[in-house]
Amino acid sequence: MYGWTGKIARIDLTRRKIAVQTLSPDTCARYLGGRGMGGFFLQPAATLDWDHPDVPVCLFTGPLTATAAPTSGRCHMVSISPLTGLMADASLGGKIGVQLKRAGWDGIVITGKSDTPVGIDISDNDITLVTAKNLWGMTTDAVHQHLNPKKAGLACIGPAGENRVRFAAVITDRYHAAGRTGLGLCLGAKRLKYILVSGTGRTRVKDPEQLKKARQDICRLTAASPALMGRYGFSRMGTGAMYDLMDNRHMMPTDNFSATWFGPAKELNAAAYARAYSPKKHGCRGCHILCKKISTRTSAGTAMPEFETMSHFTALVGLQDIDLVTAANQRCNSLGMDTISAAVTLACFREITQKDFTPASLLALLDDIALDRGEGKSLKKGAAAYAGSMGQPDAAMAVKGLELPAYDPRGAYGMALGFAMSTRGGCHLRAYPISHEILRKPVATDRFSFSGKARIIKIAEDSNAVVDSLIACKFIFFAAGLEEYARVFSAVTGQDVTAQDLLAAGERIYYNERIINSCRGFDARHDDLPARFFTQPGTGTSQIRVPPIDRAAFLQAKAAYYAVRGLTRNGLPTRTKAEQLGVPWKSL
């Protein structure tokens, strides 16, 4: 095969056994790689508890990984989420994806549980389990320093993943967090501290000339994209470039989503970080956008916070200090925790206890969460569990247990629907409507309307499922489309596919996730937003009104979504639709 290596490693940590499994061309074509392939290998375990030894942690590259395809260096991890109970998945940046592929593996599927802390060391064909007793308890920075991976790719967990923080993250190559859904704990429960990979092979590409041409088409589009390569785009300013927009649009979640505008925001934007830290560019392997920013001045070498972190550690928690944001970001990465979930959980704590934070008290609480101390013992379960235990479930700003990112849904109704329908809970990336509702790409849509949004969201979910499976980075789709990536795919694999063929694979991948979640008891009751958004307005102006979301209109859009997605009125998948899409059927 071209593109795929056709080979995965099954690593059983209980029996300390490693087996090689070949992938059929048919499976590759149907599930592509990354998230799609992870979902395929997860489905048989869909009814098990998240920490059952038979529940796999899957780490997959895609057919484009380690080729000249733009932004194809990422890989994807999939398991069951200890935070939400849904399928868990997150994209891993850095260089581990490229290394895994170059080592000759489309992916690894890790099952079982080790008695003692362990690391997986992959060097081309050789896979060894190495004791990690000496690393247990270490921060992710310390692990990185200790293992000194150089060219190799490293994914590891910090104390949070060891101490059963339900939103523990996996950190790759020091700077890149796979934050959402608690995958760090999935590794921690298996007592897997790290995965270190180096490879010397090459991905076989069917038509390098055609790939070069397809790459040029995409690069030309990214050069024309203000959001990516413009003066204020991600390449120059990082994802923090979104901060001023959210401020201007009055959709910045403030005080635990009780308001949508934060007075001091103008002083806390990406330009302020640029002045204070003179950041340099950094990025994932195989990417020319390089959206990551690393400080060259104050605390040189520190990663600058991403947009979500900038927003949530200021407006959401009521602080206005960019050094605190940078420190909190650094602390979360080092301890191995998701910044979004951590901040939303703290904002929930602040609302319930009515106690404001100081920078010091906030940092101390982050430590307590990761190290399982004091208040941290209850906060480490996430906002929903914490608020529930305090008898105030409505104070948790989460969907299906996943804390909401920094876009207030009252300011973008596609986002509202996307949050509610997402197969991983309160996530902006499944449908990523920010593209058309805020960044005007491919064209602008009315952000205060549900009109047409059901199908838009469904198509975008399918498209992003493809993106997470090929793999490419979502950001590049502010400029390019599956049309261009289908050409890349064809050049790499030699399979003549179109954007529509890829979308069909995306629909299959997405439906499989709905099937997995339905096996875990999720249905229409869970596809909803916190009540606050339907009853309280945001902070509007005379020009921009931010009313509460009309519940009836939301429910209508939700029903339309179910119809378009091929789900029952109760939000459940059907055997007929599954057969039509060619997805193995499974039910409770």
Partner 1 sequence: MEILVKKYAQKLVDAGLAAPSGPGAPLVGGLDQTLVWNTTAPEIPMLEKIFQHLNINSLVFLRPRFPYDLIIRFLAGRALKSGGAILPRDCETRTFLHDLPVVDQWDIHAIVQALKQRKIVIIQGNARKNGFLAPAVIAPGTVSPEQGFVHISSVCFACFVAFFNNYLAGLKTGQHDPEMDLVFDQVLPFLQNGVPASPDLMHGPFSREIDVYTAMAQAGRKIVDYGLVDSYFGNLSCCWNNTLYISQTGASLDELTGCIDPVPLDGSSTAGITASSELTAHLETVARTGCRTILHGHPRFCVIASMDCDPAQKAACAFSDKCHTHCPVPRHIGSVPIVPGEVGTGPFGLCNTLPRACDTSNSVIVYGHGVFVTGKIDFTQAFSSLVAVETLCKNRFLEQVRHLRHA
Q: Interface with partner 1 by CB under 8 A: which residues?
A: 217, 219-227, 229-233, 237, 240-245, 248, 266, 269-271, 274, 436, 438-445, 451-456, 459-460, 462-463, 483, 486, 498-501, 503-504, 507, 559-560, 563-564
For residue 9, the 8-state DSSP code is: E
Choose the contact partner of 226 out of partner 1, ligand SF4, none; CB within 5 to 8 A by kind: partner 1
- To partner 1, the closest distance from the beta carbon of 226 in angstroms equals 5
- To partner 1, the closest distance from the beta carbon of 314 in angstroms equals 15
User: Using CA of residue 559, residue 561, residue 564, residue 568, what is the dihedral sign?
Assistant: negative
By CB under 6 A, residue 284 contacts ligand SF4: yes
What is the Cα 188 distance to its own chain's centre?
19
Interface size with ligand SF4, residues (CB under 6 A): 12
Enumerate residues 91-110 that contact ligand SF4 by CB under 6 A.
93
Neighbours of 455 (CB within 10 A): 13
Instruction: Please say which residue, 86 or 322, places its beta carbon nearer to partner 1.
Output: 322
Measure the CA angle with vertex 26, ends 23 and 28; round to 5°.
55
Instruction: Please say which residue, 104 or 283, places its beta carbon nearer to ligand SF4.
Output: 283
By CB under 6 A, residue 464 contacts ligand SF4: no
Query: What residues are paired with 80 via a beta bridge?
Result: 87
By CB under 6 A, residue 409 contacts ligand SF4: no
- To partner 1, the closest distance from the beta carbon of 502 in angstroms equals 10
Instruction: Please say which residue, 65 or 111, places its beta carbon nearer to ligand SF4.
Output: 65
- To partner 1, the closest distance from the beta carbon of 230 in angstroms equals 6
By CB under 6 A, residue 71 contacts ligand SF4: yes
By CB under 6 A, residue 303 contacts ligand SF4: no
**Binder to ligand SF4 among 166, 292, 436, 447 (CB under 6 A)?**
292
- To partner 1, the closest distance from the beta carbon of 180 in angstroms equals 24
- For the chain, what is the radius of gyration of the CA atoms? 22
CA torsion 179→417→464→328, rounded to 10°? -20
By CB under 6 A, residue 283 contacts ligand SF4: yes
- To ligand SF4, the closest distance from the beta carbon of 291 in angstroms equals 3
Instruction: Please say which residue, 166 or 292, places its beta carbon nearer to ligand SF4.
Output: 292
**Binder to ligand SF4 among 165, 177, 192, 289 (CB under 6 A)?**
289
Site string for ligand SF4, 73-92 (x = CB under 6 A): -x------------------
Write phi, then psi, for 159 (nearest 5 degrees). Answer: -55, -30
502-539 per-residue burial string, b: 16 or more CB within 10 A, e: under 16:
bbbbbbbbbbbbbbbbbbbebebebbbbbebbbeeebb
Choose the contact partner of 205 out of partner 1, ligand SF4, none; CB within 5 to 8 A by kind: none
Q: What is the three-class DSSP state of 78?
A: strand
Of 476, 449, 457, 407, nearest to 547 (Cα)? 449
Burial of 18 (0-12, 13-18, 19+ CB in 10 A): middle
CB-based closest residue to ligand SF4: 283
By CB under 6 A, residue 396 contacts ligand SF4: no
Q: Which stretch binds ligand SF4 (CB under 6 A): 249-257, 289-297, 348-356, 499-507?
A: 289-297
* Cβ(325)–Cβ(305) below 8 Å: yes
Instruction: Please say which residue, 67 or 239, places its beta carbon nearer to partner 1.
Output: 239
- To partner 1, the closest distance from the beta carbon of 25 in angstroms equals 21
Instruction: Please say which residue, 85 or 240, places its beta carbon nearer to ligand SF4.
Output: 240
Neighbours of 290 (CB within 10 A): 15
By CB under 6 A, residue 475 contacts ligand SF4: yes
User: SS3 sequence, 537-572?
Assistant: CCCCCCCCCCCCCCHHHHHHHHHHHHHHHCECCCCC
Instruction: Please say which residue, 313 or 475, places its beta carbon nearer to ligand SF4.
Output: 475
**Binder to ligand SF4 among 157, 196, 287, 515 (CB under 6 A)?**
287
- To ligand SF4, the closest distance from the beta carbon of 93 in angstroms equals 5
Choose the contact partner of 199 out of partner 1, ligand SF4, none; CB within 5 to 8 A by kind: none
Alpha carbons 168 and 576: distance in angstroms, whole number: 37
* Cβ(101)–Cβ(471) below 8 Å: no
Choose the contact partner of 290 out of ligand SF4, partner 1, none; CB within 5 to 8 A by kind: ligand SF4
Instruction: Please say which residue, 193 or 285, places its beta carbon nearer to ligand SF4.
Output: 285
Neighbours of 21 (CB within 10 A): 13
The runs of H, that is alpha helices, within 2-123 are: 25-31, 34-42, 96-102
- To ligand SF4, the closest distance from the beta carbon of 495 in angstroms equals 24
- To ligand SF4, the closest distance from the beta carbon of 295 in angstroms equals 16
Instruction: Please say which residue, 127 or 499, places its beta carbon nearer to partner 1.
Output: 499
Of 480, 431, 481, nearest to 456 (Cα)? 431
Measure the CA angle with vertex 217, ends 212 and 220; round to 5°.
120
Instruction: Please say which residue, 351 or 484, places its beta carbon nearer to ligand SF4.
Output: 484
Choose the contact partner of 444 out of partner 1, ligand SF4, none; CB within 5 to 8 A by kind: partner 1
Burial of 292 (0-12, 13-18, 19+ CB in 10 A): buried
Q: Which stretch binds ligand SF4 (CB under 6 A): 82-90, 209-217, 257-265, 287-295?
A: 287-295
Alpha carbons 392 and 410: distance in angstroms, whole number: 22
- To partner 1, the closest distance from the beta carbon of 181 in angstroms equals 27
Choose the contact partner of 429 out of ligand SF4, partner 1, none; CB within 5 to 8 A by kind: none
Query: What residues are paired with 170 via a beta bridge?
Result: 178
Instruction: Please say which residue, 118 or 303, places its beta carbon nearer to ligand SF4.
Output: 303
* Cβ(276)–Cβ(322) below 8 Å: yes
Distances (CA, A) of 261 to 69, 256, 311, 404, 557: 39, 12, 11, 16, 26
* Cβ(61)–Cβ(34) below 8 Å: yes
- To ligand SF4, the closest distance from the beta carbon of 552 in angstroms equals 38
Alpha carbons 408 and 254: distance in angstroms, whole number: 9
Burial of 35 (0-12, 13-18, 19+ CB in 10 A): buried
Q: Summarize as ranges the residues that interact with ligand SF4 (CB under 6 A).
A: 71, 74, 93, 283-284, 287, 289-292, 473, 475
